[in-house]
Amino acid sequence: MLPDIRDYDALCAQFRWNVPERYNIGVDVCDRWAAAEPERPAVMDVGADGAIRVLTYGRMRDASNRLANALRRRGVVPGDRVAILLPQGETVPIVHVAIYKLGAIALPLADVFGVDAIAYRLADSGAKALITNAAGVSRIADSEEDFENPEILISIGGPQGGAEGLTEICRSESADFSAVDTLADDPAMMIYTSGTTGMPKGALHAHRVLLGHLPGVQFPHEFMPQAGDRLWTPADWAWAGGLLNILLPGLHFGVPVVARRFEKFDPEAAFRLMADMQVRNTFVPPTALRMLRGVENPRGRFDLALRTLASGGESLGAETFAWGREALGLSINEFYGQTECNLVLGSCAAIGVTRPGSIGKTTPGHRVAVIREDGAICEPDELGQIAVARPNPVMFLSYWNRPEATEAKFVGDWMTTGDQGVVDADGYFRFVGRDDDVITSSGYRIGPTEIEDCLIRHPSVALAAVVGKPDAVRTEIVKAFIVPRTGVTPTPELAADIQQFVRTRLSAHEYPREIAFRESLPLTTTGKVIRRLLRDEN
């Protein structure tokens, strides 16, 4: 959707949305390609043994049609929620496409979810069906939770524990299916927020959400698709970052998507996979990037073919940005958005839109600002809340069964994000922190991002998170939670050294007056630190 214009101002001026009245994601990302090039690779599924199974568009069309027929036969109708609890693999896009063709609503669930998280989302959404694997069926069967929903349980591992086998129910079904003629504004998927504050809410999205994502994907991936492009992300495809930043856009553009399930993110294995599969374009969340920094000489040790490296989900930081240039020879193109309205800010080094410590500028097609509480636009460099103007094709329809929360999300026509930030006179946005994350100390308002970025520059620090701790004198003090590098022993002397490191590099009011060492930090499935849990320890 982005015109090939290599000047930012001209690109924004000439960009136009092309969202048809009637549109179906499943038809777009599958049937369109299957009709023209049925043998074209859609997904390259890499097994734990290194074997590669290629899902073509033709096979994806036939398999999704059989599943759509099977689900319809079991009573799934347009508007029904169908949950998907599966790791990365070729079955995931088949299931998604089948659901969209049916006019039902896909409900992706992260493979790492525990039984409480699964039960909450199934009950809150009223899901009619759940498609999972043998591990998912066992997880439900072994749970003490009362899973009233869903009434249809399907396992890709075959019949077990009350579940029907996916292969078995599809075997006798037709490979022909007429997709529901959906409007672009009809509901297509529901993705639950990561729950950094309060219980997760189901963000309901229309079919148009994919079209709304496309410029936000093309911008940080520098005018994708280009010849030879190939996508991969370690992010779970149940998260908006994996599903809507990588999988579905890749299928739309006809760019092969690499799938590889890791039980736990392994930096060495990640570099090896990117080299073996000649990945050209990747999205890696900042936490995973910081783990990749621990790998020595990646360009010298691995035959990497990377053209673009994008990151988002939390602030990248200038230190990790600098590492990307030095270690990989790439400018990490940061982007910004939320489950409710994604990829609205970004960087694109190919046209000079890049600045260390900054998210980037407004992605073409969107209107984003930093606003005050009354909705007025802030002056340059004035702290306020990042907000996105409606109407917008990437914006959510509503929170599921939460009209009050939906209404509270807006100030006039501005969709608020709960993220504090500033925009400079050149139009570059800088993320300061979540509303709840901003620390008030001795009259100063302190964002955690800059402190965390400074902390990870210390040679003994692997990961860091900063929160405010209540203090009778200063209102709050800065407290840092530190994960030391491998082989480093936490000591009071190390804590003092880290404090002095920050104090001399930032300021006396920003250094952490308390440091707590941890083996790990609490993370959402999207890789964001759950600072709420850290604050609760104070």
Outline which parts of the chain fall under CATH 3.30.300.30.
436-536
pLDDT-derived band at 139 (thresholds 50, 70, 90) equals confident
Write the CA distances from 51 to 46, 91, 263, 277, integer angstroms.
Answer: 6, 16, 17, 11
Residue 8, pLDDT > 90, answer yes
Q: What pLDDT does 200 receive?
A: 81
The per-residue pLDDT of the chain, averaged, comes to 92
CATH 3.30.300.30 fits 436-536, yes or no: yes
pLDDT-derived band at 363 (thresholds 50, 70, 90) equals very high
The one-letter code for the residue type at 135 is: A
Residues 279, 256: Cα–Cα separation, whole Å? 10
Structure tokens at 7: 């000047």
Structure tokens at 441: 């100390």
Name 187's bridge partners.
Answer: 206
Mean of pLDDT values over 234-246: 94
Residues 216, 143: Cα–Cα separation, whole Å? 40
Place of tokens 């069964």: 401
Q: What pLDDT does 381 receive?
A: 96
Q: Which of 346, 367, 351, 370 is nearest to 424 (CA)?
A: 370
Residues 228, 281: Cα–Cα separation, whole Å? 10
Backbone angles phi, psi at 517, to 5 degrees: -90, 140
Backbone angles phi, psi at 88, to 5 degrees: -50, 135
Mean of pLDDT values over 227-252: 96
CB 43 within 8 Å of CB 90: yes
pLDDT-derived band at 475 (thresholds 50, 70, 90) equals confident
CATH class of 24-33+63-206: alpha beta
| Least trusted range by pLDDT, from 104-108, 206-210, 258-262 | 258-262
Residue 387, exposed/middle/buried by CB under 10 A (0-12, 13-18, 19+)?
buried
**Looking at the domain 1-23+208-368, which fold is it?**
Rossmann fold (3.40.50)
- Model confidence over 140-198: pLDDT tens digits? 877 666 666 689 999 999 999 889 999 999 999 999 999 999 999 999 999 998 654 55
Instruction: Give the β-pairing of 414-423 and 444-446.
Output: unpaired
Structure tokens at 125: 């959404």
CB 120 within 8 Å of CB 93: no
Structure tokens at 264: 């736990």
Residues 76, 129: Cα–Cα separation, whole Å? 8
Q: Which residues, other chains included, contact 279 with Cβ-Cβ below 8 Å and sequence gap of 6+?
A: 230, 231, 232, 258, 273, 305, 306
- Model confidence over 413-460: pLDDT tens digits? 999 998 899 999 999 999 887 766 768 676 555 768 778 888 998 999
Outline which parts of the chain fall under CATH 3.40.50.12780.
1-23+208-368
The radius of gyration computed from the CA coordinates of the chain, to the nearest angstrom, equals 23
